[in-house]
C-alpha cells in the first residue's frame, strides 16, 4: 500500500533539484574562476619585476618607468570628471525632474532619453574614429589631449546621466512634498533637499564613469596618440596614458617593455579597485541615510528598492516592522 506510483517520480524530482542546484553553482564557479585567475595573473606577472621607481621615472625607448603615463591617465580622468561630470549630472537632473514623459503615455520616454541610451551603447572605436576625422584632422588639433577628452566625455556622459537620473528617482516623494510644504521654491528645494539626498548615488555614478574612462584604449589611440612624456599643451602634441602601454608593450621587442606592460596593467587594476571600493563606501553611506528616511514615513518609490540595500535596521529607533 505504500508503493504509490509517485515514488519513482519523487526520486526523479529530487535528482532534478540537485542537478539544478549543481548547475547554478557550476555557473558561478565557471564565472569566478577566470575572474580570480585574471586578477591573480596580473599581480603574479607584475610582482617579480616590480620596482617602485616605475612610479617616478620617465619612459625611455629601452625601458624606464611610467611616471608620465600615470599622470596622463590621471589628467584624463580629471578632465572627464570635470567635463562629463558637469554635463552628465545636469542632463540626469533634467531627465529625472523636468522631462517627465506625459506626451508619450509613460511608455516611450522621449527621443532625448533614447539618444542618451543609444549613445551609451555606441561602439567606442567608432567614436574614436569620429574624433580622429572631425577633431584631430578636421579642426587641425592633431593627436592630443583635447580631442581625447572630448571623445571620452561623450562616451561616459550617458552613464553619468543615467545614474543621476536613477538616484534622483529613488529620492522619497515625501522629501519633495516636505520641501514644498515648508515653502521652498521648486529650484531651492531641488538643490537643498532632493539633490542632497541623491548625492551618494550621483557620486557612485561618477566614480564608475571614471573607472570606465581610465580603462579605455580604443577611442584614445586615434585621438590622443601616444608619447613617452607629458606635453605642455592641450592640442598639437601627442599624449601619454597607461592603457596604450599594455596594448603595445606585451609584444614589443624590448623585454623591459613586457614588464612595463604588466606594471601598467597592475596600476590600472589598482586604480579601478580603488574607485570601486570608494563607490562601495559611498553606497554604504547611502544605506545609512536611507534608513533614517525609512523611519520617517516614505513614498512608494522607496518600497521598490532592492531588499539587500535596506536590510539592517540597527540603530533606527521606532523603525516599523517589515
Interface positions, 57-86, toward another protein (CB under 8 A): 86
Out of 26, 139, 255, 281, name the contact with another protein by CB under 8 A: 26
For position 41 contacting another protein by CB under 8 A, the verdict is yes
Out of 72, 76, 80, 216, name the contact with another protein by CB under 8 A: 216
Out of 43, 112, 199, 230, name the contact with another protein by CB under 8 A: 112
Provide the minimum distance between the beta carbon of 171 and another protein in the complex, in angstroms, as a whole number. 15
Out of 7, 55, 82, 115, name the contact with another protein by CB under 8 A: 115
Out of 43, 74, 78, 122, name the contact with another protein by CB under 8 A: 122
What SS3 string covers the chain?
CCCCCHHHHHHHHHHHHHHHHHHHHHHHHHHHHHHHHHHHHHHHHHHHHCCHHHHCCCEECCEECCHHHHHHHHHHHHHHHHHHHHHHHHHHHHHHHHCCCCCCCCCCCHHHHHHHHHHHCCCHHHHHHHHHHHHHHHCCCCCCHHHHHHHHHHHHHHHHHHHHHHHHHCCCHHHHHHHHHCCCCHHHHHHHHHHHHHHHHHHHHHHHHHHHHHHCCHHHHCCCCCCCCCCCCCCCCCCCCHHHHHHHHCCCCCHHHHHHHHHHHHHHHHHHHHHHHHHHHHHHHHHHHHHHHHHCCCCHHHHCCCHHHCCCCCCCCCCCCC
Provide the minimum distance between the beta carbon of 232 and another protein in the complex, in angstroms, as a whole number. 25
For position 208 contacting another protein by CB under 8 A, the verdict is yes
Which span sits near another protein by CB under 8 A: 14-22, 63-71, 74-82, 295-303? 14-22
What character string, x for contact with another protein (CB under 8 A) and - otherwise, covers 90-109?
xx-xxx-xxx------xxx-
Segment 250-289, which members bind another protein (CB under 8 A)? 250, 261-262, 265, 268-269, 272-273, 275-276, 280
Which span sits near another protein by CB under 8 A: 47-55, 60-68, 125-133, 285-293? 125-133
For position 1 contacting another protein by CB under 8 A, the verdict is no
Provide the minimum distance between the beta carbon of 44 and another protein in the complex, in angstroms, as a whole number. 10
For position 54 contacting another protein by CB under 8 A, the verdict is no
Amino acid at each position: 500500500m505504500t508503493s504509490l506510483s509517485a515514488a519513482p517520480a519523487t526520486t526523479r524530482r529530487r535528482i532534478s533539484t540537485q542537478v539544478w542546484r549543481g548547475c547554478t553553482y557550476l555557473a558561478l564557479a565557471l564565472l569566478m574562476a577566470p575572474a580570480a585567475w585574471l586578477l591573480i595573473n596580473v599581480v603574479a606577472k607584475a610582482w617579480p619585476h616590480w620596482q617602485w621607481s616605475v612610479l617616478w621615472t620617465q619612459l625611455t625607448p629601452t625601458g624606464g618607468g611610467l611616471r608620465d603615463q600615470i599622470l596622463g591617465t590621471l589628467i584624463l580622468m580629471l578632465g572627464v570628471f570635470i567635463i562629463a561630470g558637469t554635463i552628465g549630472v545636469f542632463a540626469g537632473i533634467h531627465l529625472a525632474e523636468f522631462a517627465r514623459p506625459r506626451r508619450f503615455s509613460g511608455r516611450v520616454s522621449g527621443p532625448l532619453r533614447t539618444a542618451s541610451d543609444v549613445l551609451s551603447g555606441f561602439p567606442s572605436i567608432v567614436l574614436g574614429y569620429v574624433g580622429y576625422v572631425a577633431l584631430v584632422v578636421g579642426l587641425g588639433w592633431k593627436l592630443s589631449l583635447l580631442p581625447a577628452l572630448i571623445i571620452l566625455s561623450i562616451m561616459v556622459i550617458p552613464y553619468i546621466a543615467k545614474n543621476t537620473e536613477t538616484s534622483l528617482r529613488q529620492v522619497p516623494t515625501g522629501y519633495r512634498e516636505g520641501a514644498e510644504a515648508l515653502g521652498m521654491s521648486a529650484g531651492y528645494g531641488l538643490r537643498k533637499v532632493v539633490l542632497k539626498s541623491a548625492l551618494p548615488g550621483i557620486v557612485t555614478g561618477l566614480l564608475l564613469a571614471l573607472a570606465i574612462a581610465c580603462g579605455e584604449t580604443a577611442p584614445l589611440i586615434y585621438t590622443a596618440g601616444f608619447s613617452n612624456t607629458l606635453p605642455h599643451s592641450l592640442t598639437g602634441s601627442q599624449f601619454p596614458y597607461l592603457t596604450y602601454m599594455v596594448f603595445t608593450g606585451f609584444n614589443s621587442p624590448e623585454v623591459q617593455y613586457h614588464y612595463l606592460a604588466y606594471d601598467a596593467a597592475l596600476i590600472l587594476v589598482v586604480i579601478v579597485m580603488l574607485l570601486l571600493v570608494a563607490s562601495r563606501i559611498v553606497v554604504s553611506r547611502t544605506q545609512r541615510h536611507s534608513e533614517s528616511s525609512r523611519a520617517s514615513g516614505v513614498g512608494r518609490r522607496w518600497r521598490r528598492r532592492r531588499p539587500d540595500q535596506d536590510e539592517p535596521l540597527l540603530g533606527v529607533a521606532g523603525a516599523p516592522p517589515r
